[in-house]
Amino acid sequence: MADGSWHWRNSMKTVRFFIFDARAGFFVVLVLVHARLWTLLLAIGVMSVFYLLERKSLTFPAALRAGRVWLIGSRRPAWIYTRRRKLQDTGS
């Protein structure tokens, strides 16, 4: 790749903090700044949630969207019936 444009294929990869999503790194910094047992347990809990999400092939924003769809469902009362969203993934 002599032209130097090869790096664009990596622009959508998730930023990592060792093996976890980089968003979990905030809680590691929180443990370093505020070293208490509950912050350590919080960081371990959050990192385990990120690990479980990755095992299900979900990123954190995708998991938030999936949780929102699960909570709200397919009923959208402000829309007329023909414009309502149909469920795409029934979770078979």
Query: Model confidence over 3-48: pLDDT tens digits?
Result: 556 667 777 777 887 887 888 888 889 999 999 999 999 999 988 9
Q: What CA–CA distances, in Å, run from 23 to 15, 29, 60, 70?
A: 8, 11, 9, 23
Query: Model confidence over 52-61: pLDDT tens digits?
Result: 888 888 888 8
More confident residue, 59 or 84: 59
Task: Please indicate, yes or no, if residue 28 is contained in any of the structural domains.
Answer: yes
Task: Please indicate, yes or no, if residue 48 is contained in any of the structural domains.
Answer: yes
Task: Please indicate, yes or no, if residue 57 is contained in any of the structural domains.
Answer: yes
* Confidence at residue 32, expressed as pLDDT on a 0 to 100 scale: 92
Task: Please indicate, yes or no, if residue 89 is contained in any of the structural domains.
Answer: no
Task: Please indicate, yes or no, if residue 67 is contained in any of the structural domains.
Answer: yes
Q: What is the count of structural domains for the chain? A: 1
* Confidence at residue 57, expressed as pLDDT on a 0 to 100 scale: 87
Task: Please indicate, yes or no, if residue 22 is contained in any of the structural domains.
Answer: yes
Number of neighbouring beta carbons within 10 Å of residue 67: 11
Range of the domain at 55: 14-83
Task: Please indicate, yes or no, if residue 61 is contained in any of the structural domains.
Answer: yes
Task: Please indicate, yes or no, if residue 90 is contained in any of the structural domains.
Answer: no
